[in-house]
Amino acid sequence: MDLTPLFLPQSVAVIGVSSSNDRHPANVIFSKNLLRYPVRTHAVNPKGGVLHGEKVFPSVSAVPEEVDLAVVAVRAEYVGSVLQECIAAGVKSAIVISGGFSESGRDDLQTGLVDLAARHDFPFVGPNCLGLYSPGIIDTFFLPAERMVQPPKGGVAIVSQSGGILVDLLVKFADEGVGISCAISIGNKAIIRERQLLEFLASDSRTGVIVFYVEGFARDEGRDFVRMARDCGKPVIVMKAGKTNEGGRAVSSHTASLAGDYQVFRSVLKQHGVIEARNEYELASYCEALSCYSDKSIEGRIGIVTGSGGHGAMAVDACISKGLSVPGFSESIRQQLQDGFSASIRSIAAVGNPVDLTGSALENDFVSAVETLSITPEIDCILLLLLPYLPGISSDLGASISQVYRRSGKPLVAYVPHVEKYRMLIEGFELNRVPVASSIESAVNMTSVLRRCRPC
């Protein structure tokens, strides 16, 4: 199946718009794409008419151009005939928003869609889903635009069985500044499933990191998926629901999936080098780090630079809990660190690991410490804990330290509290592709995923 018309449509037909209810899901989808996206958007309803000044066509076959993507939002019992008409009209792909299929006990309706699509090699997403959001291209989510929180354009692709979880992830990614190439809710995944999407995204030039929120697989499907993820050539991150017996029952009622044995699935992921995120916060941290360093891998020897001893101690504990090491430095490195400090802190700074520059440190002290650690083979990643309120540093420090990373290439992860007052400091890192965490725990998560991820 060719999924290009689904992900990069030039024309879309929204089937099921209402002439009397502008909050109908189809109306919301039609209006958003008509007014906010470059895709050519057409409305379809058997009654015809006019919507927002645009002609409503009585059928998809009446649309006066080739349709790349049909978005179907009609009652479940009508979806089969709508897809049959789409196939006859030469539509290239579809997203079925409608619910009321296997998740509601109507296996017969869903089986009918599968048989029809399989006979005609017709790709469709869903049913029971939100569909696709791709920045600057298309948005089939039936959520009003003014309520959507949308991350910037970037290199992370998200595939989710749950529309609600997907929207939550978009909020977190926007808050952390993680950009996405696309986000797709697959619902009951009747035809297009994780494996087909993984195959497409592995070759998608817009995508560098691939994320899956998974509730369950069909029998024997999970192992094949993991093998594909291992071999796809890009970092793949999985967040799994249905980890308990009770959660498995909830999964079955949501999208009619088999949750499977979580411990077995988890061990298979680890065996094949596929990254597992335990929760949304861990996932956002992993994505930000891998968006910047998708081609880098570390052993996990961390060098910490801080302006606060307490922050350094917390970071050490967090590193050890993640299986990272914080080795002590040799005497020669300790001396190099000392030699680079300003006179005001030379007698009070600690040059172990962490390197504690104290609250009296100047801007050049941070730069010098990072420069020294960037060339020592004793560590393979630098964790920088910045307290923006220290009097000796400026908002340009993020950009200055980022230049050290650009010269050395040694991965650097920064912690800076995420508040608007410190935005310029944070942007100095972000603009130079250095990940910035809003908490020490998130920063350590970012470093740990570089150890867990090996280039495929």
Same structural domain, 238 and 304: no
Is 144 inside a domain boundary? no
pTM of the model: 0.91
| Stretch among 80-94, 264-278, 388-402 having the lowest mean pLDDT | 264-278
Instruction: State the pLDDT at residue 247.
Output: 47
pLDDT band at 219 (very low <50, low <70, confident <90, very high): confident
Collapse the DSSP code of 353 into the 3-class scheme (helix H, G, I; strand E, B; otherwise coil) and give the result: coil
pLDDT, average across residues 354-368: 97
Does residue 130 fall inside a structural domain?
no
Domain end residue (candidates: 264, 279, 294): 294
Structure tokens at 37: 């996206």
DSSP three-state, residue 158: strand
For range 181-185, the mean pLDDT: 98
**Do 30 and 106 sit in the same domain of this protein?**
yes
Same structural domain, 289 and 300: no
Query: Do 233 and 199 share a domain, yes or no?
Result: yes
* pLDDT tens-place string over residues 424-438: 999 999 999 999 999
Whether residue 143 is contained in a domain is answered as no
Q: Of 90, 125, 160, which residue constitutes the final position of a domain?
A: 125
Residue 8: inside a domain: yes
Q: What does the pLDDT read at residue 79? A: 98
Q: Between vectors from CA 127 to CA 30 and to CA 36, what angle results, nearest 5°?
A: 20
- Per-residue pLDDT of 229-276, as tens digits, reads 999 999 999 999 977 555 445 544 444 454 567 888 888 898 898 999
Last residue of a domain, one of 294, 323, 344: 294
Same domain, 219 and 333: no
pLDDT band at residue 62 under the 50/70/90 scheme: very high
pLDDT of residue 254: 44
pLDDT score, position 244: 58
User: 52: pLDDT confidence band, cut at 50, 70 and 90?
Assistant: very high
- Same structural domain, 7 and 97: yes
What pLDDT digit, counting tens, does each position of 148-178 carry?
999 999 999 999 999 999 999 999 999 888 9
Q: Are residues 279 and 326 in the same domain?
A: no
DSSP 236-265: EEEEE---SHHHHHHHHHHH--B---HHHH
| Helices within 217-343 (DSSP H only) | 221-231, 245-255, 262-271, 280-293, 309-321, 331-340
Q: Are residues 281 and 358 in the same domain?
A: no
Percentage, residues of the chain above pLDDT 90: 86
Pairing of strands 40-44, 54-57: parallel
Answer yes or no: is 253 within a domain: yes
The predicted pLDDT at position 248 comes to: 47
Residue 451 to residue 243: CA distance in whole angstroms: 25
* pLDDT number for residue 177: 87
Residue 134 forms part of a structural domain: no
Average pLDDT, the chain: 93
Question: What separation, in Å, do the N-terminal and C-terminal C-alpha atoms of the chain show?
Answer: 25
Mean pLDDT for the stretch of residues 79-87: 98
Model confidence at 207: pLDDT above 50: yes
Q: Higher pLDDT residue, 218 or 404?
A: 404
Q: Is 141 a domain residue?
A: no
CATH (domain of 193): 3.40.50.261
pLDDT > 50? residue 96: yes
Same-domain status, 286 and 185: yes
- 260 compared with 454, residue with greater pLDDT: 260
Nearest partner of 431 among 395, 391, 455, judged by Cα: 395
Total domains in the chain come to: 3
CATH number at 108 reads 3.40.50.720
Amino acid at 210: I
Domain that holds residue 390: 296-452
Residues 285 and 304 in one domain: no
Q: Is residue 139 part of a domain?
A: no
Tell me: do 338 and 444 sit in the same domain: yes
Mean pLDDT of 356-363: 97
103 and 38 share one domain? yes
